[in-house]
Each structure stands twice: as C-alpha cells, then as structure tokens.
C-alpha cells in the first residue's frame, strides 16, 4: 500500500462538526477500499493567503493515508463532487511522519531552528526588475 497525504480546505460557513462529518465520510471511503487513515488533523479556521471562491477563511484538514491507488482515486472523485471543499491536494510520500504537522502548531515557535536563515541574512534582495 502506498503512502499519501491529503490536505483539503472546507468552506468557512461550515461548523466544526460538519467538517468532522465530512472527514468521517472520507475516512469511510478509504476504509471501504481497505486503506486506512493513520493521522487526521483538523487545523481549524485559518485565514487564506488569498481568497478562494469568495472565501477569506477556510477549515484546513490533513490526512495521512495508506491505501491503494484506486481507493485514492475514488476519494479524490468524492472530494471533487463536494462543493463544500474549496481545494484539495493529495501527494504521494515515501514514509508518513507521525508527529504533528507544522500547520497545526502555528503558535508554538520552532523559530530558533531557522534563526540562521533570516531574510535579512540575505541582504535587501527584492529581485524586482522594475
């Protein structure tokens, strides 16, 4: 079974319960296809970097999936049919990481690891031709 990771964004009008119900029936599809979802993360309401279909915010949900390709295709088809899901992205991975994704702990600072990479370290490069 291959490893996949799916992120999708649900409309902001949905309540948290509805989003969970949405995730549940996707899980249902995966388990029917004899796959399994090892990690489900509800990252809650986040403001989007740009508006998608007139929505400023969206519920982000992340799945770690171990399933066969036809099952994934079926899940993708269901996601495509569902209007509440604004956008989704499914990628194939070699291995699944189980620790919480950086999406979740936006508050919890992991900045000290990136100190050396600060933008200012690269000087004032705007890269704008004009």
Partner 1 sequence: MNSIPVTRKPFFRRRKTCPFSGPDAIQIDYKDVKLLQKFTTERGKIMPSRITAVSQKKQRELAQAIKRARFIALMPYVLD
Alpha carbon distances (Å) from 52 to 49, 92, 122: 9, 25, 32
Cα 63 to Cα 90: distance, rounded to the nearest angstrom: 9
Residue in 1, 52, 69, 96 binding partner 1, rule: CB under 8 A: 52
Per-residue b or e along 112-125, where b marks 16 or more CB atoms closer than 10 Å to that residue's CB: eeeeeeeeeeeeee
Would you call 62 helix, strand, or coil by DSSP?
strand
Residue in 81, 83, 89, 112 binding partner 1, rule: CB under 8 A: 89
Residues 22-41 binding partner 1 (CB under 8 A) are none
Residue in 15, 95, 107, 125 binding partner 1, rule: CB under 8 A: 125
Residue in 54, 91, 94, 95 binding partner 1, rule: CB under 8 A: 91
CB of 107 to partner 1, least distance (A): 11
Binding residue count for partner 1, defined by CB under 8 A: 30
């Amino acid at each position: 079974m291959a490893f996949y990771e799916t992120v999708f964004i649900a409309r902001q009008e949905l309540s948290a319960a509805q989003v969970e119900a949405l995730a549940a029936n996707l899980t249902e599809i995966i388990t029917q296809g004899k796959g399994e979802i090892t990690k489900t993360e509800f990252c809650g309401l986040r403001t989007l970097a740009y508006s998608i279909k007139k929505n400023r915010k969206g519920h982000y949900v992340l799945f770690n999936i171990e399933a066969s390709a036809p099952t994934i295709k079926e899940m993708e088809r269901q996601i495509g049919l569902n209007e509440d899901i604004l956008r989704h992205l499914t990628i194939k991975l070699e291995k699944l990481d189980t620790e919480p994704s950086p999406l979740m702990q936006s508050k919890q600072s992991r900045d000290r690891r990136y100190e050396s990479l600060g933008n200012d370290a690269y000087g004032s490069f705007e890269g704008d031709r004009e």
